[in-house]
Structure 1
C-alpha cells in the first residue's frame, strides 16, 4: 500500500532544475505582486467600485491562491531533491488545484457575461448586474467549487495504489494518479471526460457566444469607443483561450504510460500562466487601472509627506 508519492523535478540535471525553479519562482512572485496590486487598487479607488472590477478583484485573489498551491512546493522539491509528498498532502493539493481551476472557469464566464451586458445592453446594465447579482454569483461559484473538487478528489482516492509511487508530474494531479492505480479507472476517466466537456466545453461555448455578440456590437461603435471596448475584452479572450485549451489538453487526452515535456508544459500553462497573465493584461493594458494606480500612489505619497 502506497503511503507517499514521489513527484518529478522540473528537469534531470541540477543546472536545469535550478534555472526552471528560479524562473517559476520569479513568475510566482510577479504573480503575487501583480494580483495584490489589482486587489489593493480596486479596493482603494472608489472609481473602480463597479461589478467589472469586483469580479477582477475576486479573480486576482483566486489567482494568488491558485499559483500558491503548486509553485512554491514544486520549486522547493526541485531544488532540494526532496520529492516526497504524503497521500494526505497529495489529496489536499489535488482538491485545491481542481477547486481553484473550477472557480476560475466560472469567474471568467461571469466576467464574459458582465462585458456582454455592459456593451450590448448598457441601458439595463445596472438592473441586471447589481450588487446582489455579484455577491450571489461569487458565493455560488465558491460553493459549487467545493462540491466539484470534493467529488473528484474523493472519487480518485477510493482507488488502490499498490505499485509504483512515482508521479510523472511536478505536482499531484488526477491524470498522473490514474496511471499509478492498480484499480479499474474506467469510471474515473469517464467522469473526468464528462465533467471536463461540460465545464470546459460549456464555458468555452458560453464565453465564445458572448464575445461573438460583443464584437458584433463593438464594430458599430465609433473608433474611440471600439478601442476602449477592445482594451477590456481582448485580454479576457486571450486568458480564457490559454486557460481552457491547456486544461482541456491535459484532462481530455488519452492516458499514456509516459509523460513528455509537452505534458509538463501544458500543466504550466493552466496552473501558472493565467494567474501570471491576468494582472499584466488587466493592469498594463487597461487605462482605468493604470490611472487608478497613479491616483493611489500619489495619495500615499501626499499622505506620507504630511
Structure 2
C-alpha cells in the first residue's frame, strides 16, 4: 500500500495517463471482472483452436492454416491492450511511459494491418478451393500458404513502422490524459500542441489504401466464387460453398466494419466515447467471437475437439 501511494505521488514527467474504460463506470470492479473473463475466454478459445489445428492431421489444410494464423493474431491482439488495462485498474496507477506507449501502438497497428491482409488471403484461398478444386492442392501448397502469411505480417509491420515513429515524435504539450484504454493514434494526436492536420490527411490516405487493397481482393474473390457457384447444378455444392464461405464473410464484415469507421471516416464523425466503445468491440470482443464463428458450425473442428477431449478422458481414467 505504501509503495502504491509513493508511486501515485511521483511526478511521471513525460508519461501519459490512460483514462481507460473504468473511469466513468458506476461499477468498475464488476466491469473489470467481466473484461478479465472475456480475456481468459479469448485466450482459451483461440489457443484451443490453434492446438487443434496443429495436432490434428485432418486439419492440416490451407484453410485451417490461415484460421490458426487468425487465432494467433487475435491472442496477440487482445494481449497488447487488456492486461495493461486490467493491471492499471487493480493497482490504481494508469500511467504509461512514452516508449511503452510507442511499443503498444506499433504492435496494435501491426496486428490490425496483418489481420486486414490475412482476411484477404483467406478469401483468395476460398476462391482457389471452389473455383480451381483440381489444382488447389498444388496452387495452395504449404510453401505458398507460409509465404502469404509472411506477406500479411510484413504489410502489417510496415503500417506500424510508418505511423508509430511519426506520431510519437509530435510535441505533446497539452494534457497527458489519453481518452482511451490504450495508446491509440487518433486519441494521442488530440494531445499534440502542433498542427497535425496534414499528417492526419496522409495517415487517412494510407489507411484507406491499407483497407482498400484487401477489400478489392475479397470482393474479387467472392465475385468469382458466386459466378462459379451459380453455374453448379448440385444443391449440395451450393450448400457446401455457402458453409465454407459464410464464417469468413461474417468475420470480414465485423472486422472491416470497425476498421472503416475507425480509420476512414472523417474526424467529425468521431467522439472519444464512440471511438473507445468501437475499440472495445474489435479489440476485445472480436477475438472472442472469431473462434466461436469458426468452430460452432464447423464439423471438422467440433469432431477434432471431441476426439481430443475423448482421448484426454480415456488417458485420465487409464491412469487411475
SS of the residue aligned with 1:155? helix
Are positions 1:186 and 2:192 aligned together? no
Give 1 or 2 for the bigger CA radius of gyration.
2
Partner of 1:65: 76
How big is the shift at 1:259?
A: 3.4
SS of the residue aligned with 1:122? coil
Query: Structure 2: how far apart are the matches of 1:233 and 1:7?
Result: 39
Q: Which moved more, 1:101-110 or 1:187-196?
A: 187-196
Partner of 2:285: 273
SS of the residue aligned with 1:6? strand
- What is the RMSD computed on CA atoms of the aligned residues? 2.1
Q: Which moved more, 1:120-129 or 1:206-215?
A: 206-215
Does the Cα contact within 8 Å between 1:52 and 1:111 map onto a contact in 2? Answer: yes
- Among candidates 291, 294, 299, match of residue 311 of structure 2: 299
Partner of 2:28: 17
Are positions 1:156 and 2:167 aligned together? yes
SS of the residue aligned with 1:215? helix
Does the Cα contact within 8 Å between 1:163 and 1:182 map onto a contact in 2? Answer: yes
Query: Structure 2: how far apart are the matches of 1:112 and 1:279?
Result: 17
Are positions 1:262 and 2:274 aligned together? yes
How big is the shift at 1:159?
A: 0.9
How big is the shift at 1:302?
A: 3.2
Q: Could you say if the C-alpha distance between residues 28 and 120 of structure 1 is closer, same or farther in structure 2, counting changes exceeding 3 Å?
A: same
Query: Structure 2: how far apart are the matches of 1:74 and 1:200?
Result: 28
How big is the shift at 1:182?
A: 1.3
- Among candidates 215, 234, 245, match of residue 257 of structure 2: 245
How big is the shift at 1:163?
A: 1.4
How big is the shift at 1:221?
A: 5.4
Q: Over residues 249-268 of structure 1, what are the superposed CA-to-partner deviations in whole Å (9 max), with x where a residue is unaligned?
A: 12223336983432211111
Partner of 2:294: 282
Are positions 1:39 and 2:39 aligned together? no
Give the paired residue count.
306
- Among candidates 165, 169, 184, match of residue 180 of structure 2: 169
SS of the residue aligned with 1:159? coil
Query: Structure 2: how far apart are the matches of 1:103 and 1:140?
Result: 8
Partner of 1:104: 115
Q: Mind listing any 5+ residue stretches in structure 2 that lack a counterpart?
A: 1-11
Does the Cα contact within 8 Å between 1:9 and 1:17 map onto a contact in 2? Answer: no
Structure 1 runs (4+) deviating above 6 angstroms are none
Scaled by the length of structure 2, the TM-score of the pair is 0.89
Partner of 2:229: 218
Are positions 1:236 and 2:248 aligned together? yes
Structure 2 matches for 1:47-58, cutoff 5 A?
A: 47-58=58-69
Q: Could you say if the C-alpha distance between residues 12 and 149 of structure 1 is closer, same or farther in structure 2, counting changes exceeding 3 Å?
A: closer
Scaled by the length of structure 1, the TM-score of the pair is 0.92
Q: Over residues 226-281 of structure 1, what are the superposed CA-to-partner deviations in whole Å (9 max), with x where a residue is unaligned?
A: 33322231121111111111122122233369834322111112212321111101
SS of the residue aligned with 1:98? helix
SS of the residue aligned with 1:172? coil
SS of the residue aligned with 1:123? coil
Query: Structure 2: how far apart are the matches of 1:215 and 1:257?
Result: 34
Query: Structure 1: how far apart are the matches of 2:93 and 2:17?
Result: 9
Query: Structure 2: how far apart are the matches of 1:102 and 1:257?
Result: 22
How big is the shift at 1:168?
A: 1.0
